[in-house]
Amino acid sequence: MRFSIQRARTITAFFSFFLHVISVFGQNKVTEFPMVKSSLLWKISGPEVKGDSYLFGTMHLIEKEYFIFPKKLEKQVKKTDVLVMELAGLPNQMEATGYVMLKEGSFFDYFTQEETDSIFMWAKDKFGMGEETFRKSFSKMKPFAVTQLGVQLHFIGKTESYEMSFEKIAKEHNVTIKGLETIAEQMALFDNLTKEQQASMVMENIRTGDEAIELIKRMQITYTTQEIDELYQLIQSEGGVISEEQGKFLDDRNENWIPQIKSFVKENNAFIAVGAGHLGGPNGVIRLLEKEGYTLTPVVL
**Per-residue pLDDT tens over the stretch 10-50:** 434 433 433 333 333 345 789 999 999 999 999 999 989 98
Looking at every residue in the chain, the average pLDDT score rounds to 89
More confident residue, 240 or 255: 255
What percentage of the chain carries pLDDT values higher than 90? 74
The domain total for the chain is 1
More confident residue, 88 or 205: 88
Residue at 7 is within a domain: no
Beta strand residue intervals within the chain, DSSP E: 41-45, 53-58, 62-63, 82-85, 159-160, 176-179, 270-275, 295-299
pLDDT tens for each residue of 152-168: 888 989 999 999 999 99
Please report, as a single letter, which amino acid is at residue 123: A
pTM, to two decimals: 0.88
- Using a 10 angstrom Cβ sphere, with 0-12 exposed, 13-18 middle and 19 or more buried, the burial of residue 202 is buried
What residue numbers bound the domain in which 168 lies? 29-101+141-299
- Residue 122: count other Cβ atoms within 10 Å of its Cβ: 21
Residue at 24 is within a domain: no
